Amino acid sequence: MERARLAIFLIAIGLAGLAGAQTSTTQPTQPTQPAQVSGVITPAPVAPAAAGGIQGQNIFEVKPDASADPNYARQTNGERAKVQPGNNAPMWRQVGLGVTGYSSLPKSEAPEAGNLIQPFVQYPGSRPTNAGEAWRQVRNNWLIPYGGAFLLIVAGAIALFYFGMGSIKLHSAETGRRIERFTPFERSAHWSNATAFVILAISGIVMAFGKFFLLPLMGGMLFGWLTYALKNMHNFAGPVFAVSLLVIIVTFVRDNLPAKGDLNWLLKGGGMLSEHQVKSGRFNAGEKVVFWGGVFVLGVIVVASGLAMDKLLPGLSYERSTMQVAHMVHSVANILMIGMFMLHIYLGTIGMQGAYQGMKTGYVDETWAREHHELWYDDVKAGRIPAQRTEPAPPSQTVQA
Ligand code: HEM
């Protein structure tokens, strides 16, 4: 039974990987014929933007110019061409205002194909801005600096904790008797998800923050190739993460349901730093917070917004604003999730003696079970939970109920 579940899960992961390959290698839908944009807008060969682009300002703003015709802002392209041949500013002004032209692309596939540029938006206290530019400002001025600072603060807090208090050690000697904590199926689900998460987190961090700490070290050529490779890995790992997240949620939900002592555990911080930890079942309240907040809520938001950016969420109209909102939601949820899982990874490795062993081998020592999850240990001892849930192990290695 256990083997069959494991096999089905591994096949699902494989299929998810293939779906990722599909997403990553498929080119965006291309029209069979070049799209035409016409109507009120006359196509023009020359764009007015200054060479090198313009940083953070409205390039379509009509600036008063004493030497110009006072009516120049109302001129049509034809009128302007008579006085200044080759100057098609009127057309670009309309483009910049978000005027909808004609496009041969179907509306259902490309709802905004007739708009070369998103319309202007105006936020209280600021001048009108192109919506794409507004999104860029939010990304560069808020998400990147505050998101980066948050991750550095979490990393610093973990380092302070580790170097100040050290890792959480067992208080009694190990007995040598082992209890099965995770079945092969549970471990397989966990490690598939963890691997995909680490790939997604590292590639995401390099894509968002790499230009600050890697670009100066490795130069543009190498950094370009690295981000290109990581971006493709991100596309492959995304679907694997989505499928394994679902399996993780279903597998662990039962033991993460709220229980009587959880509030007490949270109020006392689990007694993690004292001699005796607060009693808990198979998972303590801290783990339950990570499960519901990090795995369930943030995981679902991250997956849904990621699928939206892949244009895979049914029922959404894929306009530029949809992508911008999905991107911002994805970034915020990811930063919080990465912060939360930095703590989880710390406690699952160097932060707590014996925890990693449980997820690596599937077994924990009886002392570890009693000191960290006493109610679960009591259930095992009383025979309410089998100490061995998969294939039988030698009697000397399991707790005698
Ligand atoms: C390299 C990364 C990771 C490491 C080293 C790691 C380590 C561990 C360890 C040692 C445990 C066992 C804790 C115990 O026995 O109570 C555990 C449990 C668990 N981990 Fe991870 N983990 C990693 C990433 C992840 C990720 C990315 C997720 C989900 C998004 C995740 C979800 C879980 C869940 C659901 C449990 C069961 C405990 C609970 O439900 O709260 N882990 N992990």
CB distance 345 to ligand 1 below 6 Å:
yes
In a domain, 43, yes or no: no
Regarding whether 278 and 210 lie in a shared domain, the answer is yes
Regarding whether 383 and 313 lie in a shared domain, the answer is yes
Nearest protein CA to atom 9 of ligand 1, as residue: 348
Q: How long a stretch of residues is the chain?
A: 401
Regarding whether 343 and 255 lie in a shared domain, the answer is yes
Nearest ligand 1 atom to the CA of 256 is 40
CB distance 180 to ligand 1 below 6 Å:
no
Quote the pLDDT of residue 48. 40
CB distance 358 to ligand 1 below 6 Å:
yes
Regarding whether 96 and 140 lie in a shared domain, the answer is no
Regarding whether 163 and 114 lie in a shared domain, the answer is no
Nearest ligand 1 atom to the CA of 287 is 41
The alpha carbon of 108 and the centre of ligand 1 are apart by a number of angstroms equal to 42
CB distance 346 to ligand 1 below 6 Å:
no
Nearest ligand 1 atom to the CA of 360 is 10
Q: How many CB atoms neighbour CB 221 within 10 A? A: 8
CB distance 236 to ligand 1 below 6 Å:
no
CB distance 265 to ligand 1 below 6 Å:
no
For residue 335, give the amino acid letter: I
* Pocket test residue of 180, 359, 360, 377 for ligand 1, highest count of atoms within 8 A of CB: 359
Nearest ligand 1 atom to the CA of 294 is 30
In a domain, 317, yes or no: yes
In a domain, 239, yes or no: yes
**pTM for this model (two decimals):** 0.80
Q: Could you tell me the residue range of the domain that residue 301 belongs to?
A: 2-9+135-397
Nearest protein CA to atom 43 of ligand 1, as residue: 348
* Pocket test residue of 190, 301, 303 for ligand 1, highest count of atoms within 8 A of CB: 190
Write the DSSP string, 240-303.
Answer: HHHHHHHHHHHHHTGGGS--TTHHHHHHTGGGTTSSSPPP-SSS-HHHHHIIIIIIIIIHHHHH
In a domain, 329, yes or no: yes
Nearest protein CA to atom 41 of ligand 1, as residue: 287
Regarding whether 160 and 302 lie in a shared domain, the answer is yes
Quote the pLDDT of residue 46. 35
CB distance 134 to ligand 1 below 6 Å:
no
Quote the pLDDT of residue 36. 38
CB distance 199 to ligand 1 below 6 Å:
no
pLDDT tens digits for the chain (401 residues)? 555 565 565 565 555 554 544 444 333 333 333 333 333 343 333 334 333 333 444 555 555 554 466 777 778 888 888 888 888 888 888 887 778 888 999 888 888 899 888 877 777 887 777 788 889 999 999 999 999 999 999 999 999 999 999 999 999 999 999 999 999 999 999 999 999 999 999 999 999 999 999 999 999 999 999 999 999 999 999 999 999 999 999 999 999 999 999 999 999 989 877 778 899 999 999 999 999 999 999 999 999 999 999 999 998 989 999 999 999 999 999 999 999 999 999 999 999 999 999 999 999 999 999 999 999 999 999 999 888 888 755 555 555 54
- Check which CATH number belongs to the domain holding 274 and give it: 1.20.950.20
The alpha carbon of 285 and the centre of ligand 1 are apart by a number of angstroms equal to 14
Nearest ligand 1 atom to the CA of 299 is 30
Quote the pLDDT of residue 151. 98
Regarding whether 182 and 98 lie in a shared domain, the answer is no
CB distance 373 to ligand 1 below 6 Å:
no
CB distance 194 to ligand 1 below 6 Å:
yes
The alpha carbon of 200 and the centre of ligand 1 are apart by a number of angstroms equal to 16
Regarding whether 152 and 125 lie in a shared domain, the answer is no
Regarding whether 322 and 276 lie in a shared domain, the answer is yes
CA distances from 218 to 200, 214, 222 (A): 21, 6, 6
Q: How many CB atoms neighbour CB 324 within 10 A? A: 18
Regarding whether 386 and 246 lie in a shared domain, the answer is yes
* Pocket test residue of 283, 290, 344, 345 for ligand 1, highest count of atoms within 8 A of CB: 344
Dihedrals phi, psi of 78, to nearest 5 degrees: -65, -45
Quote the pLDDT of residue 10. 55
In a domain, 34, yes or no: no
In a domain, 15, yes or no: no
Give how many domains the chain has, as a whole number.
Answer: 2
Regarding whether 327 and 231 lie in a shared domain, the answer is yes
In a domain, 335, yes or no: yes
Regarding whether 219 and 327 lie in a shared domain, the answer is yes
CB distance 359 to ligand 1 below 6 Å:
yes
CB distance 198 to ligand 1 below 6 Å:
yes
For residue 59, give the amino acid letter: I
Those residues whose C-beta lies under 8 Å from the C-beta of residue 97, and which sit 6 or more positions away, are 60, 119, 120
8 A C-beta contact, residue 376 and residue 385: yes
In a domain, 348, yes or no: yes
